[in-house]
């Protein structure tokens, strides 16, 4: 008598990739028979061999475990009541060694509880003694079929998992490339703009490098240092919308012109707003003309309201402006620029950021000296 076998999940071959078909195992299925009664071992082994199976029969659970350590079996036919380790104890130990192993239990009459427990522990089926050989054959075939299905399912799951992770990695690579392209496009705008203005040439690149050095000097984490660098490269992209006549005007600006120039922060933020992957860099760019004393723009933030990245950009921007030639004055030496900027600490520049800027500049000068 047999119970209804546990339902196996069949996957139609048509949906399987060509290489997902189960790998055929060499030779006839290997069955391990575990029973302490020799007469049963002899009778069942003889029958199973006559049906073409390869059979190993052992009289104790411990011998079965030894064999499972050495050999791969397709199916274990296992008595429940045995001296020493019982069949119910052997079952989880065997499945732990090979989760795809098919296990059929041999139970005594009227032991429904044991049978249920065996199924719950992962047995494929059980047979009640005395065993009808025809039932044995059906149970073995069914358990082996279930095992094949299980192996197939695991194989497909593995393939799907591999495929998903490969596609995810590919997608991430594409997204990273797209993000890099977006930044590159914005940089192209900046280069085009800087190319028209001899006083601005290379400004964004220099601000980016100096700002990243200051961020590293302040011990910010690598992601933030990178965000500061990108913000430096893009901080003046809004100047693309500034009238050339105003941008290159040698003399002082009128109030209207000054407002127009200041509008580059708002325009830059608008241009870059679709590039949400820039994350904190967007905020740093928006803050790059704010001042600790609240006299900056566009939002007139003060003190701690200004992002640290914004304060760093402001310091690097001011240093680069002073050390670059302008239509109305020559470039200052690094030391002169630092001296001048020191007078702006607390009003235009954050004290800690300025101190980090000074350390970076001093280090650069000593490096130049060594060279
Ligand atoms: Fe700016
Ligand atoms: Fe700038």
Distance of CA 219 from the midpoint of ligand 2 (Å): 23
DSSP state of 333: P
Q: Using a cut of 0.75, tell me whether the model's pTM lies above it.
A: no
Q: What is the pLDDT of residues 170-200, one digit of tens each?
A: 999 988 888 888 788 878 888 777 877 777 7
CA neighbor of 288 nearest in space, from 272, 301, 270, 273:
301
Distance of CA 178 from the midpoint of ligand 1 (Å): 26
Closest ligand (CA of 268): 1
Q: Could you list which residues have their CB under 5 Å from ion ligand 1?
A: 236
Query: Is there a cis peptide before residue 130, judged by omega within 30 degrees of 0?
Result: yes
3 state DSSP class of 127: strand
Distance of CA 225 from the midpoint of ligand 1 (Å): 19
Residue 337 CB contacts under 8 Å (≥ 6 apart), including other chains? 319, 322, 323, 361
The answer to whether 242 touches 264, Cβ cutoff 8 Å, is: yes
DSSP state of 178: H
The answer to whether 87 touches 100, Cβ cutoff 8 Å, is: no
Q: Which residues pair with 329 in a beta bridge?
A: 326
Give just the sign of the alpha carbon dihedral 96, 102, 105, 106.
negative
Ranking 1-5, 162-166, 171-175, 271-275 by mean pLDDT, the lowest is 1-5
pLDDT for 12 = 43
Closest ligand (CA of 289): 1
Q: How many angstroms separate the CA atoms of 272 and 146, rounded?
A: 58
Q: How many angstroms separate the CA atoms of 160 and 145, rounded?
A: 22
Structure token pair of residue 264:
């580059």
Let me know if 344 is a catalytic residue. Answer: no
Structure token pair of residue 77:
């036919």
Distance of CA 203 from the midpoint of ligand 2 (Å): 7
Active site residue: 129, 239, 249, 311, which one? 239
The answer to whether 130 touches 44, Cβ cutoff 8 Å, is: no
Closest ligand (CA of 207): 2
Q: What is the pLDDT of residues 225-238, one digit of tens each?
A: 999 999 999 999 99
For residue 281, pLDDT beyond 80: yes
The answer to whether 212 touches 225, Cβ cutoff 8 Å, is: yes
Distance of CA 314 from the midpoint of ligand 1 (Å): 8
Give 213's pLDDT tier (boundaries 50, 70, 90): very high
The answer to whether 33 touches 44, Cβ cutoff 8 Å, is: yes
Task: State how far the alpha carbon of 11 is from the alpha carbons of 15, 20, 139, in Å.
Answer: 7, 11, 21
Closest ligand (CA of 242): 1
pLDDT for 6 = 40
Distance of CA 204 from the midpoint of ligand 2 (Å): 7
């Amino acid at each position: 008598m047999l119970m209804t076998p546990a339902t196996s999940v069949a996957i139609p071959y048509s949906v399987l990739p060509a290489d997902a078909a189960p790998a055929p195992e060499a030779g006839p299925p290997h069955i391990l028979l575990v029973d302490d009664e020799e007469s049963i071992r002899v009778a069942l082994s003889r029958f199973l061999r006559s049906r073409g199976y390869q059979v190993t029969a052992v009289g104790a659970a411990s011998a079965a475990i030894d064999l499972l350590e050495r050999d791969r079996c397709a199916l274990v036919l296992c008595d429940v009541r045995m001296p020493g380790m019982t069949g119910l104890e052997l079952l989880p130990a065997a499945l732990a060694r090979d989760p795809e192993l098919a296990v059929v239990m041999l139970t005594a009459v009227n032991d429904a509880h044991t049978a249920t427990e065996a199924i719950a522990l992962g047995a494929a089926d059980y047979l009640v003694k005395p065993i009808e050989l025809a039932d044995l054959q059906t149970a073995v075939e069914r358990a082996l079929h279930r095992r094949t299905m299980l192996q197939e399912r695991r194989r497909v799951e593995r393939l799907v998992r591999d495929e998903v992770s490969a596609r995810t990695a590919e997608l991430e690579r594409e997204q990273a490339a797209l993000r890099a392209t977006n930044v590159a496009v914005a940089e192209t705008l900046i280069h085009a703009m800087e190319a028209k203005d001899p006083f601005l040439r290379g400004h964004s690149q220099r601000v980016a490098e100096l700002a990243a050095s200051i961020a590293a000097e302040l011990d910010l984490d690598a992601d933030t240092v990178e965000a500061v660098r990108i913000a430096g490269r893009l901080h003046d992209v809004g100047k693309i919308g500034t009238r050339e006549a105003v941008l290159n005007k040698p003399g002082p600006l009128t109030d209207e012109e000054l407002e127009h120039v200041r509008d580059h922060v708002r325009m830059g933020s608008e241009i870059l707003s679709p590039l949400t992957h820039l994350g904190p860099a967007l905020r740093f760019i928006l803050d790059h003309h704010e001042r600790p004393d609240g006299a900056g723009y566009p939002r007139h933030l003060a003190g701690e309201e200004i992002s640290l990245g914004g304060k760093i950009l402001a310091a690097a921007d001011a240093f680069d402006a002073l050390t670059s030639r302008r239509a109305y004055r020559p470039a200052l030496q690094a030391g002169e620029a630092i001296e001048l900027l020191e007078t702006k600490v607390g009003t235009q520049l954050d004290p800690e950021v300025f101190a980090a800027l000074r350390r970076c500049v001093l280090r650069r000068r000593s490096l130049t000296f060594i060279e």
